[in-house]
Amino acid sequence: MELKLNKIMPSENESKKVEKMIIIGAGPAGLSAALYAARAELAPLVLTGMSLGGQASLTHTIENYPGFPEGVGGAELGELFQKQAERFGARFEFDTVTEVDFSVSPYIVKTYSSEYKAETVIISTGANPNHLEIPGEVDLTGKGVSYCGTCDGWFFKDKDIVVIGGGDSALEEGVFLTRFAKTVTIIHRRDELRAGKILQTRAFSNPKIRFIWDSIIEKINGTTAVESVRVRNVKTGEESTFPTDGVFVFIGHTPNTDLFKGQLAMDESGYLIVDDKMQTKIPGIYAAGEAMDPNFKQVVTSTGWGASAAIQATKYLEEKNS
Ligand SMILES: Cc1cc2nc3c(=O)[nH]c(=O)nc-3n(C[C@H](O)[C@H](O)[C@H](O)COP(=O)(O)OP(=O)(O)OC[C@H]3O[C@@H](n4cnc5c(N)ncnc54)[C@H](O)[C@@H]3O)c2cc1C
């Protein structure tokens, strides 16, 4: 998408200025934090990274974000969030954070082109769904390839789809997708599932769900829409073409939090750990959205976390500076 940013070229003096708040990331969480902080007159500086709008901008239409009865384009929603935050004084810089130092206050945030100091930082660097990295996957994303059943299931009413994965999220989403799809075929590389027993029972007893065991997909076929997948049995080496209208990939998410290793607490998957006020173990450093949320992964939940973090950071600054 085209980036429309209030480009900031800090002078020598400005680059030494201490920002009240820096927001790292411009997905739904970061943009909503920017709106709340801007309305609290903190003039937050948002360092966007590579994707203004975040993961939401990858999808054609978002139909489950309240306030848009006809749905809204994923990229358009990001632009609307940005405009709303800018209206109240949020500033945006198209730059990626490469290093942070939270051991000194004000906190130091380094990007490819600059170095900033800030009294508070909201981390909203999101997460990425793990990809299969096979031919056809990138080209057909949004045209039948999806990483979110809650988001895209509705588009597959009475269609035949495949789900890739064998863990909790693959089965949970697979069962959910049977509300819409005619059939859901779960393709799993092993001959047993990693998912919990209750989910397994639910999946095995669902008449719409079938399994292809010991198999991986090597290619997704189609031009304007998914038409089939090439399946290879990892035990026999046998290859076949399996017709399908959609491919849902649930092979885990990776939070974008490597940057904070050694400085902030995170769980074994890399999700940042925050308290009930969105604060990390360091006062004034908050996390919001998929960088700290292993469970919900929605635009509406991420914007909620972002707003909460900004409200708390505002209170923190008020108390600190009073
Ligand atoms: C294909 C697809 C379709 C989806 N459809 C829907 C849907 O229909 N409805 C729904 O509710 N949800 C949907 N989702 C999920 C939704 O998009 C996410 O839950 C939401 O975007 C998470 O918001 P976030 O702000 O936490 O993180 P992200 O959206 O992941 O944004 C992360 C931000 O951090 C930035 N960043 C990362 N690293 C750095 C760095 N080092 N320096 C600076 N910036 C950095 C990125 O550039 C980006 O701006 C979909 C997801 C995908 C992948």
pLDDT tens digits, 118-149: 999 999 999 988 999 999 999 999 999 999 88
Residues flanking ligand 1, CB < 6 Å: 24-30, 47-51, 54-56, 58-59, 62, 64-65, 96-97, 124-127, 129, 147-148, 151, 256, 259, 289-290, 297-300, 302
Q: What is the mean pLDDT of residues 74-86?
A: 96
Position with higher pLDDT, 222 vs 1 = 222
The alpha helices in the chain, defined as continuous H runs, are 12-16, 28-39, 74-87, 149-152, 168-177, 197-204, 299-321
pLDDT for position 16 = 64
Contacts of 76 (CB under 8 A, 6+ apart): none
Cα 123 from Cα 150, distance rounded (Å): 25
Q: Is the overall model pTM greater than 0.75, yes or no?
A: yes
Nearest to 256 by CA among 1, 52, 55, 74: 55
What is each CA distance from 142 to 76, 214, 247, 317, in whole angstroms?
Answer: 15, 27, 10, 42
**From atom 44 of ligand 1, which residue's Cα is the shortest distance away?**
49
Nearest to 56 by CA among 44, 65, 66: 65
Catalytic residue among 95, 101, 139, 148: 148
Contacts of 210 (CB under 8 A, 6+ apart): 183, 184, 185, 186
Whether 77 shows a pLDDT value over 70: the answer reads yes
Whether 250 shows a pLDDT value over 80: the answer reads yes
**Residue 93 C-alpha to ligand 1 middle, in angstroms?**
17
What's the pLDDT band for 307 if we cut at 50, 70, 90?
very high
Beta-bridge partners for 115: 110
The Cβ-side half-sphere exposure at 222, using a 13 Å CA radius, reads: 23
